[in-house]
Amino acid sequence: MKSVTIFLIAVLILTGASCKKFLAAYSQNQTFLQSVDDLQEVLLGEGYPNSQFWHDQAFMDDDAEHNPVPRFNNIEPFYQFGMHFWQQVPEVKSDGTLSDIYGRYYSGFYKMIAALNSVLFNISQMKEGNASRQKLQQLSGEAHALRAYYYFLLVNTYGKPYRAATASTDYGVPLKIIPEIQSAPFPRSSVQQVYDQIISDLLEAEKELDGFNETSVVRVNQALAQTLLSRIYLYQENYEKAVIYADKVIAKQYRLRDMNNWVAGTPFVTRASPELIYTTRSGPYLAERMADISLGSLSQDTYRVSEDLLGIFSQKDLRWSFFFKKAGTGDFLARKSGEVQQIDISDLSAFRLPELYLNKAEALAILGRNEEAIAVLQELRKNRFKPADLTVIDLSGAPLVDFIRNERRRELCFEYHRWFDLRRYGVNSKYPFGKAIRHPSFVLDGMGGRSLEGYYELRPYAEEPSAYVLTVPVAEIDFGHGVISNEPRPIRPLIQ
């Protein structure tokens, strides 16, 4: 009976509104999770990322360009049109209708958060009984870390970037950390409130996960919590703490992988990599969305690496060979984790050790500790260049920070960083940065051909900040009867 109950709950969690009615029938004293095994089943099945994980956001920045597939007769609409081209309504498809995919991600995050809230609530109840405290501690740590991660993604997608001077009044996302189902929709919390909750959850996770899952890359562990803390503190411009938490992870068992000893054509980011800290279980999305269109007909539009990104790589940079593949069309495609059949991790959501070196280097540079910053950066770069090609870095101040940011872009491209980085650079209090981004637009003729029709341009954050915030889906706005609203985004025409 218990397994049937959990199965029904899992199904209802995935069906949205019916889940709310079902869970509303349960009071705090009528828990549907009866054992540690029940908790783990819900955590693994409903709390961890799944195949619906939020990935299309990865193509809004300056690292990717639309690379549509020439088709005969039946021309499918471009589902990510509104997002990729920064339209006023980002969920609009190229045919003018609304995408049924866009809204799944927003609601999907909150469904996973709801499952985690239930797990955490029931853990607190079981601690009063005879359940294994050690196992409960582990599950609690995983749930806290995952909830923090989802709120990090939500607030950096649907809320404003963190700016200390205005974070307490800037709009974030609805914050819900209790298991009870309420009929009234939750309003947006401030960016500061969301970040405070993220940090609180991560600090709990850091304590609770000490000694658990240390060698796993698919179960959350202490290193992931510390990696996220380093990232969060960097976003908040709390540079001393960003360094402290970077050092905690660097001191662990992870090691940088030396490209001087790697074979070209072999996947570089893999589950066996000594750099890998954690990967979600959502599959080879990047390789599928950057398909080689020269190989034949495809069912969906694809992307290619932008000329802008390729232009910041030195030809002597070994990453050029290991991160990209030249297609038959001459386009470059991202292949850090290999071809689809080779990939054994999520190729868009990997947490890797190089991020910690880059977090630390950026924080030290902004603190004015230039020599330390350069030393940290060179530790990474000596694994990315042949010894004879490793150049000396003789920079300080803004030029050094710019160099580190470009190094971050090179190393972490297509790993869920660049769009968020562009947002935070735009509001940085000491070294603000912004740039215009252009995405080319193609027209398909229905005869197996295509032609360039123009481009769409996104101006720097300082000039149009609302364009760097995705709108909460229309269906959610309608359901909430105005409790949640979106800031108007600018109209963006095609430039020919």
For 117, list phi and psi in degrees, rounded to 5: -60, -40
Q: Please report the pLDDT score of residue 481 as a whole number.
A: 80
Q: Please report the pLDDT score of residue 252 as a whole number.
A: 98
Residues 335, 325 contacting (CB under 8 angstroms): yes
Q: Please report the pLDDT score of residue 342 as a whole number.
A: 86
Q: Please report the pLDDT score of residue 59 as a whole number.
A: 92
Q: Please report the pLDDT score of residue 32 as a whole number.
A: 65
Q: Please report the pLDDT score of residue 387 as a whole number.
A: 97
Q: What are the structural domain ranges in the chain?
A: 2-52+102-233
Q: Please report the pLDDT score of residue 23 as a whole number.
A: 37
pLDDT one-digit tens code per residue, 347-373: 788 999 999 999 999 999 999 999 999
| 231: nearest Cα among 155, 324, 336 | 155
Q: Please report the pLDDT score of residue 67 as a whole number.
A: 93
Longest dimension (CA), the chain: 69
Residues 145, 228 contacting (CB under 8 angstroms): yes
Range 2-52+102-233: architecture per CATH: Alpha Horseshoe (1.25)
The C-alpha atoms of residue 192 and residue 130 are separated, in whole angstroms, by 38
Residues 192, 173 contacting (CB under 8 angstroms): no
Alpha helices, H only, 190-278: 191-208, 222-235, 239-250
- The pLDDT tens digits along the chain (496 residues) read 333 333 334 434 444 443 443 333 223 333 567 889 999 999 999 999 876 566 777 899 999 999 988 877 767 889 899 999 999 999 999 999 998 888 888 989 999 999 999 999 999 888 766 668 899 999 999 999 999 999 999 999 999 999 999 999 999 999 999 887 766 678 999 999 999 999 999 999 999 999 999 999 999 999 999 999 999 999 999 999 999 999 999 999 999 999 999 987 789 999 999 999 999 876 778 888 898 888 876 767 799 999 999 999 999 999 998 999 999 999 999 999 888 888 888 878 899 999 999 999 999 999 999 999 999 999 999 999 999 999 999 999 999 999 999 999 999 999 999 999 999 999 999 999 999 999 999 998 878 788 999 999 999 999 999 999 999 998 888 888 889 999 999 999 999 9
HSE-CB of 172 using CA atoms within 13 angstroms: 25
Q: Please report the pLDDT score of residue 69 as a whole number.
A: 84
pLDDT one-digit tens code per residue, 453-467: 999 999 999 999 999
DSSP string, 49-76: --TT---GGGGSSSSEEEEPPP-BS---
Q: Please report the pLDDT score of residue 62 as a whole number.
A: 98
Q: Please report the pLDDT score of residue 479 as a whole number.
A: 83
